[in-house]
Amino acid sequence: MADHLVIDSVAVLQLDAAPWPVFDIAASAASFPFVYSPEDWVDLGALAVPQYPDPTGRLRGWARGFVRSAPTDTLALLKDLSVGVAERILYQSREDEGTQSPIETLDRGWGSCRDFAVLFVEAARTLGFGTRIVSGYLYNPEREKDAGTTHAWAEVFVPGAGWITFDPTNRGVGGFNLIPVAVARDIHQAMPVAGSFIGMTDAYQSMSVEVVVGLHKGGPP
């Protein structure tokens, strides 16, 4: 028997992502549309398959609206799609459990960072990109109050460059100030803790999460 449960995790991280990254995209993938190699298709698997129903093709049609021409620049397309999410959807912090489907987010016109990430990932998948959800923390050393803010964003696999980070909530490209903790096909797979307990139905009282970010004494932050 116990009256509380504490999960304490300590990690030392080195952030070395460039603020202004340059992506060495393969010539075969520089223009969209392009075709992944057979090996890439095998490795990407379900990461290139939409996970939410789109029976009327609304999400795909919305994503296709960012394709300026055929062919078009691949990286520019992905940047436009990321910025398009931020322009189309109003950010609103949400403490409720769960994540909105892409169609729900488009209908409501608002969402949290995880809703932004899911919308971007699914829209990119309808265009044929292999993508994955990333869960972790946003760390801005210049704004201590934001240190350790939980966050969600996305990564898109582009041949040559590999996994490119897109943060549609903040219109960011590259992993600068982002601390990844988990990557997954679907946001529901990135839950840090899952389980059950045996006890009375009214036993649960509250849950609190505290994240403290500090400088490592042995080197850079």
Residue 100 domain flag: yes
At 112, which CATH number? 3.10.620.30
**What's the domain range around 104?**
27-190
Q: Token digits for 90?
A: 């109003």
Per-residue pLDDT band at 221 (split at 50, 70, 90): very low
Mean pLDDT of 67-72: 95
Residue with the larger pLDDT of the pair 146 and 82? 82
Cis peptide before 33 (omega within 30 of 0): yes
Residue 148 domain flag: yes
pTM of the model: 0.87
Percent of the chain with pLDDT over 70: 92
Mean pLDDT of 172-187: 91
Q: How many helices (H) and strands (E) are present in the chain, helices listed first?
A: 5, 9
Instruction: Give tens-digit pLDDT for 51-61.
Output: 999 999 999 99
Query: Using CA atoms, how far apart are residues 154 and 99, in angstroms rounded to an integer?
Result: 15
Residue 3 domain flag: no
Instruction: Give tens-digit pLDDT for 27-47.
Output: 999 999 999 999 999 999 999
Residue with the larger pLDDT of the pair 37 and 181? 37
Instruction: Give tens-digit pLDDT for 207-220.
Output: 777 777 666 655 54
**pLDDT reading at 144 higher than 70:** no
Cβ 36 vs Cβ 159: under 8 Å = yes
User: Among residues 102, 113, 93, 6, which one has the least CA distance to residue 58?
Assistant: 102
Residue 140 domain flag: yes
Query: Using CA atoms, how far apart are residues 113 and 93, in angstroms rounded to an integer?
Result: 8
Quote the mean pLDDT of the chain: 88
Phi, psi at residue 117, to the nearest 5°? -65, -45
φ/ψ region of 96 (left if φ > 0, alpha if ψ in -120 to 50, else beta) reads beta
Query: Using CA atoms, how far apart are residues 115 and 187, in angstroms rounded to an integer?
Result: 9
Residue 10 domain flag: no
Cross-strand pairs, 172: 167
Query: Using CA atoms, how far apart are residues 118 and 111, in angstroms rounded to an integer?
Result: 10
Query: Using CA atoms, how far apart are residues 7 and 23, in angstroms rounded to an integer?
Result: 38
Sign of CA dihedral 18, 20, 24, 28: positive
Cross-strand pairs, 183: 134
Residue 71 domain flag: yes
Q: Residue 207 has what pLDDT?
A: 74
CB hemisphere CA count around 193 (13 angstroms): 10
Query: Using CA atoms, how far apart are residues 183 and 163, in angstroms rounded to an integer?
Result: 11
**pLDDT reading at 82 higher than 70:** yes
Instruction: Give tens-digit pLDDT for 96-134.
Output: 777 999 999 999 999 999 999 999 999 999 999 999 999
Per-residue pLDDT band at 156 (split at 50, 70, 90): very high
Residue 14 domain flag: no
Q: Token digits for 161?
A: 């460059």
Residue with the larger pLDDT of the pair 185 and 18? 185
Q: What's the structural domain count of the chain? A: 1
Residue 146 domain flag: yes
